[in-house]
Amino acid sequence: MKLIKYLYPLALLIFFYSCGSDDASPEPQPVINNNDDEDILQLPTTNSNPPVINNNDEILQLPIANTNPGDPGIGSVRNLNSFDFVAEMGVGWNLGNSLDVVNDADLFNTTKTEWGNPLPSKAVIDKVAETGFKTLRLPVSWRTNQNPTAPYQIEAGYLQRVKNVVDWAMSNDMHVILNIHHDNEWLRPVESDKANANARLKSTWTQIATYFEAYNEQLIFEVMNEPRLKNVPEEWNGGSVSGRRIVNEYTKTAVDAIRDTKGNNSNRQLMITPWAGSAINKAMDDLIVPNNDPNIIITIHTYFPFQYALNGEGIWGSDQEKADLRAEFENIKQKWIVRENRPVILGEWGTRTDKIPTENRIEYAKFYVEEATKRGLLTVLWDDGGNIGLLDRRTLRWRSQTQADAIVESSLIKD
């Protein structure tokens, strides 16, 4: 594949205009409210057809974010080992069910609001930072705004919209975890899909990494979210031997693509995960760190116990339940921190806010974060704005301020 870098945005826009039909209209761009207290991400109207990016399938455009020296988050990546880096990050929060929204009924015509949340706003990020959260995990599904055929071009306007949210977090001096989220439909870990998936994954991360190369170490790339084969018995049970092997291949493809973009991406901290983000031993044991790269962090998702955390069943807090959760954390610590010398981020955890009484959620959250922190595991709360939602993004009020404060305070304890 021939790679050509275009100066962004002027040359890129000229290319769009020149290669389309005579009556083609320009790509609609995001409109951002200029009031800093009410900046809201606006998505342009799209249509139900795959985005047509250019007429030359052999040329991959590589736009670069428009940044200025001195802007928050812009600069060289500091040379920190991964443990020191994670220690700097601070407790995190997920902007879930937002830019990761996928409308499978009409894939290329999503408003990114179909799952019940308003569009992202600076006010939401400001509120999260004001409460004391130091890390923003930004889940993004790219297939809604990406050509599904080679060279798998991502819409430039979509990269810009993702950048806006990254910049809102950087203006609050937060770390940002940027990922590939609900893209499992084209990242199936099966032999028949492997060639195309590897090509698309390489292209996707080449574009993302090139676009954000100017950002400093506060921007982290998480190469895949819960990679797995959907709707099979082993989906949430650690996967199959062949499936885990292919996940490793995809992981290496992504890591190599990012590193190949050079510059800040040569030693940017990256996050990788086992099959489905699982803490099951066979999934963790089979995960291979590509190239023994020193700047790689392991991320695990553990809604533990599942019946309570995600199903909202019962009241949590018996001595046995506490012992079981400690054992879950200890197993993760021993595998990665002790034996493999890799730091760990618990990239998703949380509880049902629609079924579990508030006081019990607070008790669980405090215990969860304290016990994880004691073992050096950084926690990033999953917040989908709905059944597992803690922040009401419309009113900018926490459904339980006490729970939000308890999460932040519990993350500050010392061993």
Cα of 280 vs its chain's centroid, Å: 21
Based on its alpha-carbon atoms, the radius of gyration of the chain, rounded to whole angstroms, reads: 21
What distance in Å separates the CA atoms of residue 124 and residue 392, rounded to the nearest whole number? Answer: 9
Asked whether the CA dihedral 234, 237, 241, 246 is positive or negative, the reply is: positive
Residues annotated catalytic, as ranges: 226, 348
In sequence order, the 6+-apart residues with CB closer than 8 A to the CB of 186 are: 143, 148, 193, 196, 197, 200
Return the structure tokens found at 286: 């089979």
Instruction: Check if the beta carbon of residue 359 is closer than 8 Å to that of residue 403.
Output: no
In sequence order, the 6+-apart residues with CB closer than 8 A to the CB of 77 are: 216, 217, 264, 267, 268
- Single out the residue of 399, 412, 367 nearest to residue 91, CA to CA: 412
How many CA atoms lie within 13 Å of 347's alpha carbon, on the beta-carbon side?
32
